[in-house]
Amino acid sequence: TMACLTAIDAGDGLGAFVHKTPEIALEQARAADARLAAGNAPSLCGIPLGIKDLFCTKGVASQAASNILKGFKPEYESTVTAQLFGAGAVMLGKLNMDEFAMGSSNETSCYGPVVNPWRCDDRELTPGGSSGGSAAAVAADLCLAATGTDTGGSIRQPAAFTGIVGIKPTYGRVSRWGIVAFASSLDQAGPMTKTVRDAAIMLGCMAGHDPKDSTSADLAVPDFEAALTGDIRGRRIGIPREYRMDGMPAEIEKLWAAGTAMLRDAGAEIVDISLPHTKYALPTYYVVAPAEASSNLARYDGVRYGHRAKLAAGDGITEMYEKTRAEGFGAEVQRRVMIGTYVLSAGFYDAYYNRARKVRALIKRDFEQAFAAGVDAILTPATPSAAFGLGEMANASPVEMYLNDVFTVTVNLAGLPGIAVPVGLDAQGLPLGLQLIGRPWEEGDLLNHAYVLE
Ligand code: GLN
């Protein structure tokens, strides 16, 4: 803990930590020492973590990197952080992210961007998003691991951009209680770690049934670490042909082939599969996620949380809502709220939202059919490229940024577990990751396949 606190103070020119909590960290570390001395150390005893700013932490600023939550200190602890602290973990502070987890480059944060610790010449690169602070902090050794959340790729894409491991569990495996909601039918929290083994251990501490989240599954949490045997002989790995996109960089193709070879060499059988509705995933996601976001973000009204705009004489409640939300939400969040309210509006509900829900069911069915045909895991690239430069997308259309999520959103739409594993470097020496997608509730098996790739 001391080493991490020193590293954060000395080295966080990256902008990863937005609130540091050294007093809490030292208190938790002392308690961990006592538990160690007493001989009853739980699995994360004394392990210093960074916590994404999306998690509510009792008495500690939790802003979801938004100005509208300025000054908000929750009265309660999220289930995930409560379980991590119960397992002996230490909180070093809160980590930067895209505002309300909307973004793929950490550039929509009210705190400003995060710099990827990986450099290419003198170019500053994005660590990805929305869990960019989590990814950068782990990759730069400012903490041993971090929490992330993933609605459409926000754990897996930043993990791939920074050369670390990130797993999005099956929807319902980890409680969403106390995590600021973005798109509730897609959101899942998961660990971001240096190794697959760390991810297995940390996921075990984050997962489990929680009566406070009605979508949390009442299933026992298996020993994920025990699943890491490295034995995948006879397992069937699906390679989905629809993920071979036009214009895919040769380096990504090469990486995918290398990963396929590693799994084959370990005794797995490689099979070509088809997930025919893949091409509809991105537009489906960018209807469903904003729709749910517009509803979830209605609660930021200037009354219940954080910021309230200064009002002029004669302003009524409508002006208070309008001014507060115009000042408090950044451009990307406003765009999502506008899209979401549009696709949910009476005249367009059937054409957009209802249509998207139906296509979502087809995307899910593609995966179900592949698993029913005997596929155990699916291997794809995690991202269409290595980390891009900070500011590089500033003048691009928002859709170009959304294209980053092309390989990851399918997994959230289908509610499946997905993991990003660092597998190689590109010609410029930047990390590249592959994604493995598993059967629902089979995170242990998924982690074991990732263990072979690591
Ligand atoms: N980049 C995607 C988005 O902006 C995913 C974000 C996430 O997973 N939280 O919606």
* Catalytic site positions: 52, 130, 154
Residue 12 pLDDT greater than 80, yes or no: no
Task: Determine the average pLDDT of the residues in 85-110.
Answer: 98
Q: Which of 52, 97, 98 to mutate to test the pocket of ligand 1 (most atoms within 8 A of CB)?
A: 98
Answer yes or no: is the C-beta of 408 below 6 A from any ligand 1 atom: no
Residue 365 pLDDT greater than 90, yes or no: yes
Report the alpha-carbon angle 349-350-354, nearest 5: 90
Q: Which residue has the higher pLDDT, 444 or 304?
A: 444
State the pLDDT at residue 296. Answer: 98
Q: Which residue has the higher pLDDT, 404 or 165?
A: 165
Residue 11 pLDDT greater than 90, yes or no: no
Residue 318 pLDDT greater than 80, yes or no: yes
State the pLDDT at residue 121. Answer: 84
CA distance 184 to 289: 8
Q: Which of 405, 406, 408 to mutate to test the pocket of ligand 1 (most atoms within 8 A of CB)?
A: 405
State the pLDDT at residue 122. Answer: 84
* Band of residue 320 on the pLDDT scale cut at 50, 70, 90: very high
Cβ neighbours for 252, distance < 8 A, ≥ 6 positions apart: 381, 383, 384, 385, 432
Domain extents in the chain: 2-217
Centroid of ligand 1 to alpha carbon of 299 (angstroms): 20
State the pLDDT at residue 349. Answer: 96
Centroid of ligand 1 to alpha carbon of 130 (angstroms): 6
Answer yes or no: is the C-beta of 103 below 6 A from any ligand 1 atom: yes
Answer yes or no: is the C-beta of 128 below 6 A from any ligand 1 atom: no
Residue 280 pLDDT greater than 90, yes or no: yes
CA distance 35 to 51: 22
What's the maximum distance between 2 C-alpha atoms anywhere in the chain? 74
* pLDDT digits 0-9 by tens, 394-451: 899 999 999 999 999 999 999 999 999 999 999 999 999 999 999 999 999 999 999 9
Lowest mean pLDDT among 55-69, 229-243, 299-313: 299-313
In 128-170, where does DSSP find H-type helix?
Answer: 132-139, 156-162
Beta bridge pairs of residue 269: 236
| Cβ-based neighbour number of residue 312 at 10 Å | 8
* pLDDT digits 0-9 by tens, 288-301: 999 999 999 999 99
CA distance 28 to 45: 9
Report the alpha-carbon angle 311-72-128, nearest 5: 105
The ipTM is: 0.98
CA distance 195 to 203: 12
Query: What CATH architecture does domain 2-217 belong to?
Result: Alpha-Beta Complex (3.90)
| Cβ-based neighbour number of residue 387 at 10 Å | 30
Q: Which of 53, 109, 154, 188 to mutate to test the pocket of ligand 1 (most atoms within 8 A of CB)?
A: 154
Centroid of ligand 1 to alpha carbon of 278 (angstroms): 17
State the pLDDT at residue 247. Answer: 86
Centroid of ligand 1 to alpha carbon of 409 (angstroms): 8
Q: pTM score > 0.95 for this model? A: yes
State the pLDDT at residue 149. Answer: 98
Answer yes or no: is the C-beta of 150 below 6 A from any ligand 1 atom: yes
